[in-house]
Structure 1
Amino acid sequence: MTHVHPTHTQLGHRVRVEWGPTGAAAVTREADVAVVVDVLSFSTTVTIALGRGITVHPFRWRDERAVELARELDANLALQRQDARLRPGSVSLSPQSLQRSTGIERLVLPSPNGSTICASLADHGATVVAGCLRNAGAVSAYLADELARGATVAVVPAGERWPDGSLRPAVEDLWGAGAVLAEVDPALLSPEAEVARLAYEGFRERPLEHLLSCASGRGLVDRGFEPDVVLAGRLDTTDLVPRLEGGAFTPTRD
Structure 2
Amino acid sequence: MTAFDPWPPVALHADWGLDAACLAVERRDAVVVVDALSFSTTVVMAAARGADVLPLPRAILDEAGDHTVIERRFGAKLLANDPVDRLLADDLIELSDLRPGDRVVVPSQNGGTLCAAVSQAPAVAVGSFRNRAAVAEWCAMTIAAATARRVTLIAAGSVWSQMTPLTALRPCIEDGLAAGAIASAARALGLDLSVEAAALATLFDSAAERYDLETWLHQSVTGRWLASRGDSQAEIRDAVLVDHDDVVPALAPDRFFRPHVIRRNFQCPT
TM-score of the aligned structures, taking structure 2 as reference length: 0.80
Give the drift of 1:229: 0.9
CA contact 2:11–2:191 (8 Å) conserved in 1: no
Indicate how the Cα distance of structure 1 residues 78 and 143 shifts in structure 2: closer, same or farther if over 3 A, else same: same
1:238 partnered with 2:245: yes
- Structure 1 unaligned blocks of 5 or more: 92-96
1:43 partnered with 2:40: yes
Report the counterpart of residue 94 of structure 1 in structure 2. Answer: none
Q: How does 1:14-163 map to 2 (within 5 A)?
A: 14-63=11-60, 64=63, 68-78=69-79, 81-86=82-87, 87-91=89-93, 97-98=94-95, 100-102=96-98, 105-122=102-119, 124-150=120-146, 151-163=149-161
Distance of 1:78 and 1:228 partners within structure 2: 15
1:175 partnered with 2:169: no
- Structure 2 unaligned blocks of 5 or more: 263-270
Indicate how the Cα distance of structure 1 residues 79 and 59 shifts in structure 2: closer, same or farther if over 3 A, else same: same
Distance of 1:238 and 1:50 partners within structure 2: 9
Q: How does 1:209-248 map to 2 (within 5 A)?
A: 209-225=215-231, 226-246=233-253, 247-248=255-256
Give the drift of 1:6: 5.3
Query: Which 4+ residue blocks in structure 1 deviate beyond 6 angstroms?
Result: none
Counterpart AA for 2:184: A
CA contact 1:31–1:153 (8 Å) conserved in 2: no
Which string of whole-angstrom CA distances, capped at 9 and with x for unpartnered residues, describes residues 200-237 of structure 1? 11222322222222111222123111111110011111
CA contact 1:89–1:101 (8 Å) conserved in 2: no
CA contact 1:31–1:154 (8 Å) conserved in 2: no
1:194 partnered with 2:198: yes
SS of the equivalent of 2:129 reads coil
Give the drift of 1:253: 1.3
SS of the equivalent of 2:37 reads coil
Distance of 2:144 and 2:83 partners within structure 1: 44
Indicate how the Cα distance of structure 1 residues 68 and 89 shifts in structure 2: closer, same or farther if over 3 A, else same: closer
CA contact 1:36–1:157 (8 Å) conserved in 2: yes
SS of the equivalent of 2:115 reads helix
Indicate how the Cα distance of structure 1 residues 80 and 227 shifts in structure 2: closer, same or farther if over 3 A, else same: closer
SS of the equivalent of 1:41 reads helix
Report the counterpart of residue 260 of structure 2 in structure 1. Answer: 252
SS of the equivalent of 1:53 reads coil
Aligned length: 242
Distance of 2:144 and 2:25 partners within structure 1: 18
Distance of 2:81 and 2:137 partners within structure 1: 33
Report the counterpart of residue 213 of structure 2 in structure 1. Answer: 207
CA contact 2:184–2:198 (8 Å) conserved in 1: no
Indicate how the Cα distance of structure 1 residues 84 and 58 shifts in structure 2: closer, same or farther if over 3 A, else same: closer
Give the drift of 1:32: 4.0
Distance of 1:105 and 1:147 partners within structure 2: 30
Report the counterpart of residue 268 of structure 2 in structure 1. Answer: none
TM-score of the aligned structures, taking structure 1 as reference length: 0.85
